[in-house]
Amino acid sequence: MPIAPRALSTKKLASVPPAPTANVTRLPIPAQRHCDAAPIPTAVIYCEGNFGALDGKTANGLVRHSEKYKILSVIDSQKTGLDTGVVLGDGPNAIPICRDLADALRQAGRVPDWFIFGMAPSSGMLSPRERSRVLNAIGLGMNIVNGLHEFLTDDPEFAAASVANDIVILDVRKPRTKKDLRMFSGRIDKVTCPRIAVLGTDGAIGKRTTATILTRALNERGVKAVMVGTGQTGLIQGARYGIALDAIPSQFCSGEMEATIVEAFEGENPDVIIVEGQGALSHPAYLTSTFILRGSRPNGVVLQHAPGRTKLGDFGEIPMPTPASEINLIETFADTRVIGLTINHENMTDAEVDTAMTRYAGELGIPVTDAVTRSPDRLVEMIFSAFPELQSRATTLLQ
């Protein structure tokens, strides 16, 4: 079944990499794409002190792509007055950064429908200051989107506030009850279309962004691609199929991953399924990649790497793995193959990106591109090279 977020209240209602250097050429990325069938709920994103940084990845992803909400602004007093697209290096997108919620309301000229907590700290918990900010938004009648491991619907103070103000709280990471969770069954073998996982060498390295761009590019070329989200940001963006895998008890992770892939296959009859990665298989703390590989059993893997990152993002004392070592680990751990490498260009000039692409292509013997700054044609060619039947499908549909 398509995902259904957990909510509290009876009120009726109407993905990135950090900012690159300025001298990297970037292709335009549509910030928001919506269905015209119904009004799109409006939202403000809270990302104090973190927009454009690693822990701001939820906010970063939402201003680039949101099918579920119309993003009006981002709150980050350290970047007040700037344009969010400019901060991310994408070019102006008319989504401003505001000093606080009062500033955001003044600029919007109304109270938005939703207040989205746009940070993903490693603790997964609210600080006392953040708790106060969310309660303030509830007091103004705003519904809450929470992607943290701390479930606000289980908190008596938030539960009482939601009832008193007749608002909805969505705990995006909150899983079903254990009796409803699924074990691995082997049904993944019934999925006959290719499954491609976008994995990485670190967390918050751009896997979701690359997966989103790849899915869109394939669909635009006549190949029906469906993306399966595996983290809170993709679900908030509006992924039709997905699960916050890091909130599932480990016994059920492979089964939930498998079941979600099967649901996407049966519900959409796609030509290809793109699976968003989490963490890294080599990462000492974020182990979700193991369940993605086991549960989805991908036919191919696209690996995302940041050459300008020397240490792991949340663990500054641990060196980054090399693409070669990560590829060896992935292909040893799972019956799959890495079909291409994508570059996260943080802390790199455009010339350095070119050099890295040439170097890794020669060293690894696989196609290499930057999904954000290079033409999506290169990303699609990477897929077609590994799965020529998809190219044939595209040719047939476009004739």
Q: Looking at residue 6, what is its pLDDT?
A: 43
Structure token digits, residue 399: 């004739």
Is pLDDT above 70 for 274? yes
Do 158 and 135 meet the contact criterion of CB atoms below 8 Å apart? yes
Q: Looking at residue 337, what is its pLDDT?
A: 98
Classify domain 6-171 at the CATH class level.
Answer: alpha beta
**Among the listed residues 248, 243, 245, 241, the one whose alpha carbon sits nearest the alpha carbon of residue 263:** 241
Which one is predicted more confidently, 24 or 245? 245
Structure token digits, residue 93: 């997108």
Fold type of domain 180-398: Rossmann fold (3.40.50)
> SS3 for 346?
coil
pLDDT level of residue 398 (50, 70, 90 thresholds) = low
pLDDT level of residue 29 (50, 70, 90 thresholds) = very low
Is pLDDT above 80 for 15? no
Rounded Cα gap, residues 96 and 80, in angstroms: 8
CB burial class (10 A; 0-12, 13-18, 19+) of residue 180? exposed
**Among the listed residues 84, 85, 119, 87, the one whose alpha carbon sits nearest the alpha carbon of residue 19:** 87
- Ranking 5-14, 106-115, 148-157, 252-261 by mean pLDDT, the lowest is 5-14
Is pLDDT above 60 for 352? yes
Rounded Cα gap, residues 280 and 162, in angstroms: 37
Q: What is the DSSP string of 39-105?
A: PPPEEEEE-TTTTTSGGGHHHHHHHH--SS-EEEEEE-GGGTT-BHHHHHTS---S-BEESSHHHHH
120-141 pLDDT per residue, tens:
887 889 999 999 999 999 999 9
149-198 pLDDT per residue, tens:
999 999 999 999 999 999 999 999 999 999 999 999 999 999 999 999 99
Rounded Cα gap, residues 326 and 347, in angstroms: 21
Is pLDDT above 60 for 22? no
Is pLDDT above 70 for 9? no
Q: Looking at residue 396, what is its pLDDT?
A: 63
Is-same-fold flag (6-171; 180-398)? yes
Could you tell me the CA-to-CA distances from 190 to 177, 229, 245, 296, 330 in Å, in that order? 26, 20, 22, 12, 23
Task: Tell me the average pLDDT across 265-293.
Answer: 97
Domain ranges of the chain: 6-171, 180-398
- Ranking 37-41, 45-49, 200-204, 233-237 by mean pLDDT, the lowest is 37-41
Structure token digits, residue 100: 């606080």
Q: What is the DSSP string of 126-147?
A: --HHHHHHHHHHHHTT-EEEE-
Maximum distance among all Cα pairs of the chain, rounded to whole angstroms:
62
pLDDT level of residue 399 (50, 70, 90 thresholds) = low
User: For 316, which DSSP code?
Assistant: E
Average pLDDT, the chain: 91
Rounded Cα gap, residues 265 and 168, in angstroms: 31
How many helices (H) and strands (E) are present in the chain, helices listed first? 13, 16
Is pLDDT above 90 for 13? no
Structure token digits, residue 360: 């890794």
Q: Looking at residue 30, what is its pLDDT?
A: 40
82-94 pLDDT per residue, tens:
999 999 988 999 9
Which one is predicted more confidently, 244 or 26? 244
373-396 pLDDT per residue, tens:
999 999 999 999 999 999 988 866
